[in-house]
Amino acid sequence: MINVTRPYLPDREKLNKCIDRIYETVWLTNNGPLVQELTARLQEYLGVENLLLISNGTSALQVAYKVLGISGHAITTPFSFVATTSSLVWEGIEPVFADINPETLCIDPSKIEEAITSKTTAIVPVHVFGNACDVEKIENIASKHRLKTVYDGAHAFGVKYKDRSLLSYGDAATLSFHATKLFHTIEGGAIIFKKKEDYEKARLMIKFGIDDTDSIVGLGINAKMNEFQAAMGLCVLDEMDIILKERAKLWHRYENELTKYVLIQKRTFQCTNNFSYFPVIFENEETMERMKKILNSAGIYPRRYFFPSLDSLEYLDVNSVQKKSDDISKKILCLPLYPGMSSLTQEQICSLIICNLENEMEE
């Protein structure tokens, strides 16, 4: 069975050595030495400051909203993983959807401004599949209307825009370190804050609001990363060059083979590629469904990232459909892409898609 992705497992001996350190210190959580080391190394690797490791990517969004005092309405994209929307709703914030650019698949800044009302307090854009939003236009809109900006950068690990970390934009940017991500800590995530004072608020918030003197100084929850997660992260980070090299090779082969037959996400100018995903957009939903069945019958399981368009969720009271997001969500598939995937497997995937689309064109 070939799934859309497979978690990367680093060198076992190296991981064992990290785990040995945990056994030696008997320090399992509460900002242990491995969490501290991973924090420092990630800040250096990503080129950011004020990075806070956290238990998962969804909690990262929720903590960012709390720290920044976001309430009322937040403008966001309907073309994303459900956590982008559910995290807002969970915190009592009403998501207001703005449609996407159908080429970059990211939120359309012109639609953001149209959606702003007196109830709007924030913008929550998504760097979809690691592709940069139009951060300059979004930042200008946020500044003009005095709105907070939280970027969902779950896919944007290591991505740069104009030689600057994409994660350094906004009042906060969040990352997911779920097992399926480019870089992972099994479960986990991070928040990068623009302001040091926001970072300090969040640091207290994720450990029940308790400060270093054991005084309860404010409302908090438990959203800390533990030492075993950090151990995995340190070992995966050591092998990022290998991971990126293998992913790049697969990504470019898909690009070379399939560009004539399907639409491919347009990369934002001056935005680097971390090769996290390879989404393909078919002519219509019927073609997509047929290709999905053909691939499934061969034991290959691409995934409908992202379906459905989030403005169609039943627990939301949304009156208007974002047409471009709805259209793209119905005809997009992410193809298998992960280190260790064989060239023969990729050749089979490309051949199945090309042969069947060519047959369809002849008919």
Task: Tell whether 36 and 89 lie within a shared domain.
Answer: yes
pLDDT value for 363: 61
* Residue 322 C-beta-side C-alpha neighbours within 13 Å: 30
pLDDT value at residue 362:
66
Residues 218 and 252 in one domain: no
If asked whether residues 19 and 148 sit together in one domain, one would say yes
Q: What is the pLDDT of residues 339-354, one digit of tens each?
A: 999 999 999 999 999 9
Count other C-beta atoms under 10 Å from residue 24's C-beta.
9
Q: What is the Cα–Cα distance from 130 to 167, expressed in whole angstroms?
A: 11
Is 215 in the same domain as 253?
A: no
Specify whether 94 is located in the same domain as 17.
yes
Per-residue confidence (pLDDT) for residue 312, from 0 to 100:
96
Indicate whether 219 and 253 sit together in one domain. Answer: no
Which residues, in sequence order, are bridge partners of residue 263? 281
Question: Among the three residues 238, 253, 280, which one is the final residue of a domain in this structure?
Answer: 238
Residues 84, 17 share a domain = yes
- Considering only CA atoms, which of 233, 287, 280 is closest in space to residue 260? 280
Q: Is the pLDDT of residue 359 over 90?
A: no
Based on the fold, state whether residues 271 and 231 are members of the same structural domain.
no
Non-local (6+) Cβ contacts of 187 within 8 A are 55, 56, 177, 178, 179, 229
Query: Which CATH number goes with the domain that contains 190?
Result: 3.40.640.10
Which of 176, 204, 238 finishes a domain?
Answer: 238
Q: For 112-147, how does the pLDDT look when each residue is reduced to its tens digit (9 = 90+)?
A: 999 999 999 999 999 999 999 999 999 999 999 999
pLDDT of residue 241: 98
Q: Supply the mean pLDDT for the chain.
A: 97
pLDDT tens, position by position, 5-38: 999 999 999 999 999 999 999 999 999 999 999 9
The residues near 72 (Cβ < 8 Å, ≥ 6 apart) are: 93, 94, 119, 120, 121
The structural domain count of the chain equals 2
pLDDT at 215 over 70: yes
Locate 158 and state its tokens. 């290591």
> Looking at residue 320, what is its pLDDT?
85
147 shares a domain with 284:
no
Cα–Cα distance between 332 and 7 in angstroms, integer?
Answer: 22
d(CA 208, CA 247): 39
Does 178 lie in the same domain as 201? yes
pTM above 0.85, yes or no: yes
State pLDDT tens for residues 91-115: 999 999 999 999 999 999 999 999 9
Q: Residue 266: how many CB atoms within 10 A of its CB?
A: 13
Q: How confident is the model at residue 317 (pLDDT cuts 50, 70, 90)?
A: confident
Q: How confident is the model at residue 65 (pLDDT cuts 50, 70, 90)?
A: very high
Q: Are residues 288 and 357 in the same domain?
A: yes
Final residue of a domain: which of 238, 254, 277? 238
> 164-165 and 300-301: which strand pairing?
unpaired
To the nearest 10 degrees (0 to 180), the angle between helices 343-362 and 240-258 is 20
232 and 322 housed in the same domain = no
Range of the domain at 284: 240-362
Is residue 47 a contact partner of residue 164, using CB atoms and an 8 Å limit? yes
pLDDT above 90 for 212: no
More confident residue, 363 or 200: 200
Q: What is the CATH number of the domain that holds 287?
A: 3.90.1150.10
